[in-house]
Amino acid sequence: MSRMTSPKELKKQLRKEALGRRDALDEFWRVEIALEMAETARDQIAVEPGQIVSGFWPMRSEVDVRPLMFALREKGARLCLPAILDKTTIVFRELVRGTPLVEMGFGTIGPHEEAAVLDPAVMLVPLAAFDARGHRIGYGAGYYDRAIAKLVDKGQPPRLIGIAFDCQEVAQVPDENHDVVIPEILTESGLRRFGIS
């Protein structure tokens, strides 16, 4: 008995396939690419001195954005990393030199709870898959969607830059109402900007 695959199920399948391709990438090549992407970011992502940029501590086979974050810090950015508070909420805690880092769950680490909580003006967004319209598939927990919605509600919509490898691109991400479109995605091919339709 055949039935229509729901957007949620289709996303799950696309996520699994894209992450499989990402996991298969050579780890030494990934290091090279992380450094190249940091150079691209330094050349193409403008930040004002003191502007708050959220990055993320790489887990599993994600792009290592640490060189990229430090390149932006050299341009004057204040850095922060996501901290998971509970099953639905992340906040962004300031990352400063010498700050103690603690386990954050999901194999990531970040600043401890005494660190300042900041509202990022620029968000480097991890993702499992994306399409040529800038639609993304996250990891399924919805943390970033909710964090972005909260900033939009406060009248502070952040500049969103997805971070991925080219192999994570899929033909089309199934649309759902709550989806956040990512206008820019940085991969090893460079910074791609999508026209928001």
Annotated binding-site positions: 11-15, 62, 136-144
List binding-site positions for ATP.
Answer: 11-15, 136-144
- Residue pair 191/184 in contact (Cβ under 8 Å)? The answer is yes
- Beta-carbon contacts of residue 18 (< 8 Å; ≥ 6 apart): 128, 129, 137, 167, 168, 169, 170
Binding residues for substrate: 62
